Amino acid sequence: MYARRRHLYFAMMGTCLGLFVLAWAVVRLWSVPAAVGMCLFAMLIPPVAAIVANRRGPDDRWWDDPSGDPKSDEWWDELDGKKRH
């Protein structure tokens, strides 16, 4: 799951950079308003990419979820200052 989110993040950020470069290297020669529009669209991509990259998947373990390994869970609980019953 992590690799898929990472690949999607880099694809979105690559698209963002590609839009900026294409807008000001090529499109501005024909239409400055179109180049500005491309840049406005490109500026919306990084926040969406960050949300996609950081969302929790159904199989992802988070810091407070038990792993199922009693020894590991006991060790992490000790580090976190939690008392196990």
Domains of the chain, residue spans: 7-55
Q: Share the mean pLDDT of the chain.
A: 86
> Residue 77 has what pLDDT?
78
End-to-end CA distance of the chain: 33
Residue 31 CA to residue 84 CA, distance in Å, equals: 66
User: Helix and strand tally (H, E) in the chain?
Assistant: 4, 0
For the entire predicted model, the pTM comes to 0.66
How many Cβ atoms sit within 10 Å of the Cβ of residue 40?
Answer: 11
Residue 74 CA to residue 81 CA, distance in Å, equals: 10
Residue 14 CA to residue 73 CA, distance in Å, equals: 39
> Residue 81 has what pLDDT?
76
**Model pLDDT for residues 9-50, shown as the tens digit of each residue:** 999 999 999 999 999 999 999 999 999 999 999 999 999 999
> Residue 19 has what pLDDT?
95
Residue 72 CA to residue 78 CA, distance in Å, equals: 10
**Model pLDDT for residues 45-75, shown as the tens digit of each residue:** 999 999 988 887 766 666 666 677 888 878 8
